[in-house]
C-alpha cells in the first residue's frame, strides 16, 4: 500500500505568497538564483540557494552556506508572512499551463516505503548531490521542497481531488504562464483509504531529494534512542499526481565538438532526411542540427531486450553517441550538455549558430508509461531522459521535524 500522510505545514499567508514562492533549487544555478532574488528579501531562494547571501567566492558546500540556509528559514517562518497549521492536513495542488491542467495530492510520503521500493526510482543519484541536500535538510531540520511523484490512479483519487477543487482555494497565483492553485483537504480519511489501494508510487522529479530524505532519517534515527518510526523525519513532502494527467517534454542534447565532416559520417550510418521540422514526429526518430540545417533520422532498435534499452535516449547512446562520438557515459562526458524541452529548439539552434556547440539533437519525449515500466522492472533510465513541466513552486508548504 502507498502512504500519503497529512502534516502540519508551515505556509505563507495568501497575500505574501507571490513574493515568497520560487522555482526549485535544481532548475537554476547560483548566478540565476542571485538575479531572481534581487530586491526580494522574502524569496524562498534565500532558503534553498542560501549561497546567494554570501560573497560570490563562497564555496556552495561551505559550512556557512548550510548555516545561512537554516538562519534564513527560521527568519522566514518566524516572520509575519508565515503561519503554521494547527492540525495535520493534506492539500490538493493544481497546475494550469498552456491549455492543460494536472492536480496532485500534497502530503508526506514514507522513507520506509522509499527504502522498501514501494516508491520506485528510475534514475541514478550522485553521492555528492545527496551529501549536499542531506546536509541542508539536517541543518534546517526541514524538508523545504516537495518532490514530484506519480501513480496509476485506479482508486478514483482524481475525482476526489476534483470535488475538493470546487471549494475556495487557499492560493490562486499565476507566475509567468503557470497558474498555481492549492486547496486544503478538510478530512483526509477518504484519501488515506484510496491510497491504501495503490500498490506503487513512482518518482517523477526529485530523486536526490528522496535519497537525501532517506539518509536524513537514518542519521536522525541513530541520534534518537527513543526512535519509533513515526517521527516526522521519517516522512518527506511530495505532490503525488495521477500518471493519467502527467506530460513529459523532450530532454534535448548538444554536442560541443564533432569530428570533421561529421555530416558525412551520419549519412554513411543513417538515412538522413533534411527537414524544416526540428521536432521528431514519432518514437525512434531524432532530429539533428548540423551545418545550419536540420536533419531527421530513425534510430535502429536496440540490440538489447530490456525495456530501458528500448528508450530513445538509450538507442541514441547505443547507435550514435558511443560508436560515432566516443561518448560512453552521458552522465559524465564533458562533450555533452542537456537542454530541457521547455527551452524549445530555437535554443538548440542558438547554441550551435553561436559556435558554442557543433551539433544539437532534438529528442522525441519519453512517455509516462515508459517511466513506469522501467521503474517496475527495477531498471534505470539513461540520464536526462525526462523533463516534467510545469514545475512545482517551492515555498508553498514546508515540512519541519
Interval 179-185 mean pLDDT: 98
Using only C-alpha atoms, the chain has a radius of gyration, in whole angstroms, of 22
Instruction: Provide the domain count of the chain.
Output: 2
Interval 281-295 mean pLDDT: 97
- 290 and 208 within one domain: no
In a domain, 3, yes or no: no
| CATH number for the domain that contains residue 345 | 3.30.1760
- 50 and 147 within one domain: yes
Q: Evaluate whether 79 touches 42 at the Cβ level (below 8 Å).
A: yes
Per-residue pLDDT at 163: 97
- 358 and 292 within one domain: yes
Per-residue pLDDT at 330: 93
Interval 379-390 mean pLDDT: 94
**C-alpha distance from residue 14 to each of 77, 151, 221, 304 (Å):** 14, 30, 35, 52
In a domain, 380, yes or no: no
> Regarding beta strands 293-298 and 285-290, do their DSSP bridges make them parallel or antiparallel, or are they unpaired?
antiparallel
- 194 and 165 within one domain: yes
Query: Which has the closest alpha carbon to 50: 173, 175, 135, 130?
Result: 135
- 85 and 37 within one domain: yes
- 120 and 209 within one domain: yes
Q: Which domain holds residue 172?
A: 10-247+390-400
In a domain, 96, yes or no: yes
In a domain, 373, yes or no: no
Q: What is the mean pLDDT of the chain?
A: 97
In a domain, 304, yes or no: yes
- 146 and 86 within one domain: yes
Interval 146-161 mean pLDDT: 97
pTM across the whole model: 0.93
Per-residue pLDDT at 1: 85
- 171 and 258 within one domain: no
Tell me how far apart the alpha carbons of residues 95 and 180 are, in angstroms, rounded to a whole number.
5
Output the nine-digit C-alpha cell for 176.
509567468
Looking at the predicted structure, is the pLDDT value of residue 193 above 90?
yes
Per-residue pLDDT at 186: 83
- 314 and 212 within one domain: no
In a domain, 377, yes or no: no
In a domain, 370, yes or no: no
Amino acid at each position: 500500500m502507498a502512504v500519503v500522510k497529512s502534516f502540519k505545514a508551515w505556509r505563507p499567508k495568501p497575500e505574501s505568497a507571490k513574493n515568497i514562492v520560487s522555482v526549485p533549487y535544481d532548475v537554476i544555478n547560483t548566478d540565476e538564483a542571485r538575479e531572481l532574488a534581487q530586491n526580494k528579501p522574502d524569496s524562498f531562494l534565500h532558503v534553498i540557494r542560501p549561497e546567494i547571501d554570501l560573497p560570490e567566492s563562497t564555496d556552495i558546500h561551505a559550512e556557512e552556506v548550510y548555516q545561512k540556509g537554516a538562519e534564513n528559514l527560521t527568519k522566514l517562518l518566524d516572520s509575519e508572512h508565515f503561519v503554521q497549521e494547527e492540525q495535520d492536513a493534506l492539500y490538493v495542488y493544481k497546475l494550469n499551463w498552456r491549455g492543460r491542467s494536472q492536480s496532485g495530492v500534497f502530503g508526506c510520503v514514507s522513507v520506509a516505503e522509499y527504502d522498501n521500493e514501494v516508491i520506485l526510482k528510475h534514475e541514478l543519484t550522485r553521492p555528492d548531490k545527496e551529501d549536499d541536500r542531506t546536509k541542508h535538510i539536517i541543518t534546517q531540520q526541514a524538508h523545504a521542497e516537495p518532490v514530484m511523484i506519480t501513480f496509476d490512479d485506479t482508486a478514483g483519487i482524481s475525482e476526489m481531488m476534483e470535488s475538493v477543487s470546487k471549494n475556495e482555494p487557499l492560493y490562486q497565483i499565476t507566475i509567468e504562464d503557470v497558474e498555481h492553485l492549492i486547496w486544503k483537504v478538510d478530512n483526509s480519511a477518504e484519501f488515506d483509504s484510496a491510497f491504501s489501494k495503490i500498490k506503487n508510487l513512482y518518482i517523477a522529479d526529485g530523486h536526490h531529494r528522496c535519497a537525501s530524505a532517506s539518509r536524513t532519517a537514518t542519521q536522525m534515527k541513530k541520534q534518537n534512542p527513543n526512535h519509533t518510526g513515526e517521527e516526522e523525519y521519517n516522512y518527506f513532502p511530495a505532490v503525488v499526481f495521477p500518471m493519467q494527467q502527467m506530460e513529459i517534454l523532450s530532454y534535448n542534447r548538444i554536442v560541443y565538438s564533432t569530428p570533421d565532416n561529421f555530416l558525412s559520417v551520419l549519412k554513411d550510418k543513417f538515412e538522413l532526411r533534411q527537414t524544416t521540422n526540428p521536432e521528431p514526429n514519432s518514437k525512434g526518430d531524432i532530429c539533428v542540427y548540423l551545418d545550419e540545417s536540420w536533419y531527421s533520422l530513425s534510430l535502429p532498435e536496440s540490440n538489447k531486450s530490456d525495456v530501458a534499452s528500448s528508450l530513445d535516449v538509450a538507442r541514441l547512446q547505443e547507435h550514435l553517441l558511443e560508436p560515432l562520438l566516443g561518448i560512453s557515459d552521458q552522465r559524465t562526458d564533458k562533450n555533452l550538455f542537456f537542454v530541457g524541452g521547455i527551452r524549445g529548439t530555437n535554443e538548440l539552434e542558438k547554441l550551435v549558430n553561436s559556435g558554442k556547440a557543433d551539433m544539437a539533437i532534438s529528442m522525441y519525449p519519453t512517455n509516462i508509461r515508459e517511466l513506469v515500466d522501467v521503474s517496475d522492472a527495477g531498471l534505470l533510465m539513461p540520464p536526462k531522459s525526462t523533463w516534467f513541466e510545469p514545475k512545482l513552486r517551492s515555498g508553498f508548504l514546508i515540512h519541519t521535524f
